[in-house]
Amino acid sequence: MHQARTVEELRLHADAWRALKRPVALVPTMGALHAGHLALVERAKELADHVVVSIFVNPTQFGPDEDFAKYPRQLEGDLEKLHEIGADLAYTPSVEEMYPDGFATTIRVGGPAAAGLEDAHRPEHFDGVATVVAKLFTQCLPSVAVFGEKDYQQLLVIRRMVRDLDLPVTIVGAPTVREADGLALSSRNAYLSPEQRAGAPALYQALTAAADAIRGGADPDAACREQAGRLEEDGWRVDYLAARDAETLQAPAAGRPLRLLAAARLGAVRLIDNIAV
C-alpha cells in the first residue's frame, strides 16, 4: 500500500491509475479507523479498481468548544488496518498541506445543511465538511466516493454539493455498522466510560421505538418527542430526535420516505444516530 502526504504525491498515483483506465474510489475519513470505516473500504473495492483512503482530522469542521485537540489519532494502527484490508493508497496530509498560508475559500451549502439538526448545534460544521470534501475530490479526482449513512445529514450535504457544483463523482452511501447491542460504531465511542458504554445503546433503542410507533400509525413528531423525553429521564441531554423526509430532511409529508435522526449527550460524550422508517 502506498502513502501520500502531499497533493503532488496523491496525484502522481491517481493520475497513473486513471491513465490506465482504472477507476479510483475515495473513502474520506478522520482516522481512528474501526469496522465501520473498513466496511466503507470494502464497498469502495467493489466499485473501483483502486481505493484511496484519506486520513485527515479537519480543523474547520470543529467548533471552538469541540474535541479537535483530543480527537483520537492512531495513524500507525490505521495504516496497518488499511494495508490488511487491501486499500491501495492512504492519503495523510498535514493541516498545512490542506490549508496553506493565506487559504481564504469556504464552500457554504444550504438545503440539507440548513435542516435544523446538526447545523443548529454546530453552525460552522457543514461549511468545513463541504470545503474539505470538495478539496479532496479535486485533489484525487475519484470516479466514486463512499460515505457512511451513520452521518446521514452529512451524506445528503455532500450529495447536494456534488449536484449543485456538477462535480464528476458518484456519491455512494453505505449502511451504518453496529455493535451487537445496536450502538452505531463511532471513533467517539472511545470516550465512553464502561458505565456509559453500557447505557449508550439506548439512543438506538429510542429511534427503533419511535420508528415502530410511526409504522403503527403514531404521529411522527409525537413519537419522537416521547422517546426524547424518555432519554432525558434517563440522564441524556437530547439535542434533537426528529422525523424528517429521507431525501430532503424537510418536515415529513404523507407518502414520503422517512428518516429518524438523533443527537444526544451521555455525560460529555455526544453521540449521533439515525434509522430509516
C-beta neighbour count of 126 within 10 angstroms: 26
Contact yes or no for 81/49 (Cβ under 8 A) = no
- How many CA atoms does the CB half-sphere of 256 hold within 13 Å? 16
Kindly list the catalytic residues.
37
Measured over the CA atoms of residue 69, residue 71, residue 77 and residue 83, the dihedral's sign is negative
In the numeric block, which cell numbers belong to residue 55? Answer: 486520513
CA atoms of 154 and 159, how far apart (whole Å): 9
SS3 per residue for 160-190: HHHHHCCCCCEEEEECCCECCCCCECCHHHH
Polymer length in residues for the chain:
277
Contact yes or no for 109/134 (Cβ under 8 A) = no
